[in-house]
Amino acid sequence: MLRSCKQEGKCCCRQCCDKPATDIAGLLKSKNEECLKQGTTRQCVILVDYGSSWRDHRRFALMTLRNFGLGKQSMEERIYGELSYVIAELDQSVGKSMSPQTMFHNAASNIICTVLFGARYEYNDEALKIFIKLYTENAKITNGPWAMVYDTFPMVRSWPLPFQRAFENAAIAQKMSMDLINHHKKTRIPGQPRDFIDCYLDEMDKRGEDGSTFVEPQLMMYILDLHFAGTDTTSNTLLTAFLYLSTHPDIQEKCYQEIEEVLEDKDQACFEDRHRMPYTQAVVHESQRIANTVPLSVFHCTTKDTELLGYHIPKGTLIVPNLGSAMREEGQWKFPHEFNPSNFLNEQGEFEKPEAFMPFSVGPRVCLGEGLARMELFLIMVTLLRRFKFAWPEDAGDPDFTPVFGVTLTPKPYSMTVTLRRTE
């Protein structure tokens, strides 16, 4: 079975995730989940098993995100509002080397914060710094060696070992989340929602106390889920993109030329402009492919007996969608092991997306924020590549493209030099 999956990575991964919705949409209840229970209340969406609660909350999230501009011009305005702060920070670094790690995390976090909390944070704000620190630390800790020790030897979970830091971080994040909810409860006007939290509180009022799963503990974990996912994945993809672009000046220059040709006298791009920028579109997608930010997606399990590629898979079997394998599979990509936009261009130079491209997963548990992430990546990359030129510092030595492993993959810290292309 393993050999078959390796040989047919794209086919297996897509067939697996595209099975009928209830076949593999479950989440395995295991020792690992018991370990996680000590760090969270287990109410959330990403790590909740398939069922009526999951369906209700996913439907609610999709509707609410659309109401707050997902896929619309109003969301573009939110992104450009945050981009102005990114540009200001880069303007201060012109002619110098700078590290983009914190900048991209701050920007991605603020964009999703405007939807969830109705507010943005200054880049030196302590709350923003704490949220990002908690997320980045736990992303590494929970997929490190101590996580395996805790999973294998349950008796050590109460010992003061390094993994306790993950539980402490989770508790701090939950308190900050509850503080935001309590502030909204005091300042909201029912029926006039300002953001995601207000919408959820309105939904709680509408449903009443009838056994509904729309409750405050669920909201607390929900906004942490969405905040983490909307911050970490987008920022790490941007970090990967600019790492490769700063070391591939020819690709960066081709993007710039296409952007200038298409936009001409326009002040800024809109998301629809992507259809007239095949090369830039290819670069954005190639950055996602190479970043491989969530290589193993979210673990699934079968909710009933099923079959895949002729193999019988019993109910309750752990399913690990190896997205990373699919996105670097020989035979599915022209250049599977190198950064090359040609992976997304046909012979006529037109943008073409192979089936093996699935950074947001596929099937009923596909990433909730796919639309927002795609818009962010395109608008941010186009705007920054049009205004600035990025290069690998001459005194930095050879770049190290090996990622740091965790729940998500992230590039190792690096610096890049910034040169101004245009001032308007």
The answer on whether 367 is annotated among ligand-binding residues is yes
Q: Find the angle CA(55)-CA(59)-CA(61) to the nearest 5 degrees.
A: 120
36: nearest Cα among 46, 52, 47: 47
Q: How many CB atoms lie within 10 A of CB 72?
A: 14
Q: Which among 369, 68, 40, 400 is positioned nearest to 233, based on CA atoms?
A: 369
Give the three-class secondary structure for 117: coil
CA-to-CA distance for 215 and 200, rounded, in angstroms? 9
Of 133, 135, 77, 87, residue with least CA distance to 107: 87
Q: Are 9 and 330 in contact (CB under 8 A)?
A: no
Would you tell me the crossing angle of helices 216-247 and 249-263 to the nearest 10 degrees? 110
CA gap 190, 205 in Å, rounded: 9
Tokens 């991209």 correspond to what residue? 104
- Distance (Å, whole) CA 43 – CA 54: 10
| Residues contributing to the annotated binding site for heme | 367
- Could you list the residues known to form a binding site, using ranges: 367
